[in-house]
């Protein structure tokens, strides 16, 4: 069985090196598609189902963070960033947007291959539960339903997305900036207080579970389980 891998990288030499190494190392285990621009990578990621996606962050047309954010709206495909951006804040933002792993340039091809094969084994060997649970709250990301104490509540699309992100990071602080980027995008030019306004609406909708949604002053928000 061949695993489908999408490699989105604007450096032709890096694309060739990774493709050649994975092909030689695995034989026919990997079926690799590649894209040289963010737009091409985003289109391919939406058109075809992959077992893993390798994303550079700094890409022409559309950056890797945006591709990751869009993919996570409809897919749980494993995503690994390969990038020269290696500060702690960059890595935390990548994880908050939904990536599974992060490898910094320059990197070892052997390490990259090991990370990818381990990630595929882990995801293919695990049955993912559709229902996300935190305390009184249950959320189904595929059916777009939310239950509070087993009673369904209706959330507006952006409140649902905020809750989903907070549940994915349950117990961890999610910054206002990362929510703004992940939901409204880098090119959003409005007031950043829009996040606070949606959090206020979300709290109201959560009713008896509203106490689980905490504001961490000057840092962001956290959902407690």
Domain range list for the chain: 3-124, 132-223
Q: What one-character DSSP code corresponds to residue 66? A: H
Task: Tell me the pLDDT of the chain averaged across its residues.
Answer: 85
Q: Number of H helices and number of E strands within the chain?
A: 8, 11
Query: What is the predicted pLDDT for the residue at 104?
Result: 85
Mean pLDDT of 7-33: 88
Share of residues in the chain with pLDDT > 70 (%): 91
* Domain 132-223 is found in CATH 3.40.109.10: no
Region 155-164: mean pLDDT is 88
The beta strands (E) that lie in the chain are given as 3-8, 30-35, 52-55, 79-83, 101-104, 132-134, 137-140, 145-148, 151-153, 213-216, 220-223
Q: Which three-class secondary structure state does DSSP give residue 221?
A: strand
Q: What value does the CA radius of gyration of the chain take, rounded to a whole number of Å?
A: 19
Residues 154 and 157: their CA atoms lie apart, in Å, by: 9
Answer yes or no: is pLDDT of 123 > 80: no
For position 86, what pLDDT does the model report?
66
Q: Point out which residues pair with 174 in neighbouring strands.
A: 221
Mean pLDDT of 151-156: 88
Q: How confident is residue 128, by pLDDT bands cut at 50, 70 and 90?
A: very low
Tell me whether domains 3-124 and 132-223 share a fold.
no
Domain 3-124 homologous superfamily, CATH: Response regulator (3.40.50.2300)
Cβ atoms of residues 143 and 132 within 8 Å: no
Average pLDDT in the 53-57 region?
A: 93
Please state the rounded mean pLDDT for residues 11-40.
89
């Amino acid at each position: 069985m061949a695993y489908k891998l999408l490699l989105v990288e604007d450096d032709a030499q890096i694309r060739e090196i990774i493709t050649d190494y994975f092909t030689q190392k695995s034989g026919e285990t990997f079926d690799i598609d590649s894209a040289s621009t963010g737009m091409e990578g985003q289109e391919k990621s939406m058109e075809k189902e992959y077992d893993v996606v390798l994303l550079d962050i700094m890409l022409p047309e559309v950056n890797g963070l945006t591709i990751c954010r869009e993919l996570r709206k409809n897919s749980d495909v494993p995503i690994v960033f390969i990038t020269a951006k290696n500060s702690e804040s960059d890595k935390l933002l990548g994880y908050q947007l939904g990536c599974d792993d992060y490898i910094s340039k320059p990197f070892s091809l052997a390490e990259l291959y090991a990370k990818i094969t381990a990630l595929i084994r882990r995801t293919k060997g695990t049955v993912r539960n559709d229902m996300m649970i935190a305390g009184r709250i249950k959320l189904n990301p595929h059916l777009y339903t939310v239950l509070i104490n087993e009673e369904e509540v209706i959330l507006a699309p952006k409140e649902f997305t905020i809750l989903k992100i907070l549940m994915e990071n349950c117990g961890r602080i999610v910054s206002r900036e990362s929510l703004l980027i992940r939901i409204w995008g880098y090119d959003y030019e409005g007031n950043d207080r829009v996040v606070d306004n949606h959090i206020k609406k979300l709290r109201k909708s959560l009713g008896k579970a509203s106490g689980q949604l905490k504001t961490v002053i000057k840092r962001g928000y956290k959902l407690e389980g």
